[in-house]
């Protein structure tokens, strides 16, 4: 996951593989990368398929898979990840804001 504003990686996870984050940074910094909230963007590079989408909060969600992985499944995964992150942020706001309020009083 990256921030749209500065295209910085803010979180990453690799399952049974190693991801070269320098390669991810290069893709994020590319002038050719144009992401719009809710719109899926996919491309192939080497033996991998890249799937990206952003949200209105300014986050870019990235899934890198084997080329044979179905595009519709990758897009569904990105959408589920986006919903999960949105839920985590909402829950954190409900917990963190009241705690900060107590300490600021």
pLDDT, tens only, 41-60: 888 988 889 898 988 888 88
Q: According to the model, what pLDDT value does residue 105 have?
A: 36
Q: According to the model, what pLDDT value does residue 72 have?
A: 93
Domain locations along the chain: 2-104
Domain 2-104 CATH assignment equals 3.30.450 = yes
Cα separation, 94 vs 54, whole angstroms = 24
Burial class of 4 by CB neighbour count within 10 A (0 to 12, 13 to 18, 19+): middle
Q: According to the model, what pLDDT value does residue 4 have?
A: 83
Q: Residues in the chain with pLDDT < 70?
A: 88-105
Query: What predicted TM-score, i.e. pTM, was given to this entire model?
Result: 0.75
- Which has the closest alpha carbon to 45: 74, 67, 63, 68? 67
């Amino acid at each position: 996951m990256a921030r749209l504003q500065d295209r910085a990686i803010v979180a990453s996870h690799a399952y049974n593989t190693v991801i070269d984050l320098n390669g991810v940074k290069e893709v994020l910094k590319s002038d050719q990368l144009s992401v719009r909230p809710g719109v899926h963007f996919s491309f192939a590079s080497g033996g991998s398929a890249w799937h990206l989408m952003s949200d209105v909060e300014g986050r870019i969600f990235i899934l890198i898979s084997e080329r044979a992985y179905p595009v519709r499944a990758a897009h569904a995964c990105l959408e589920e990840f986006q919903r999960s992150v949105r839920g985590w942020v909402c829950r954190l706001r409900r917990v963190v804001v009241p705690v900060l309020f107590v300490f600021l009083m």
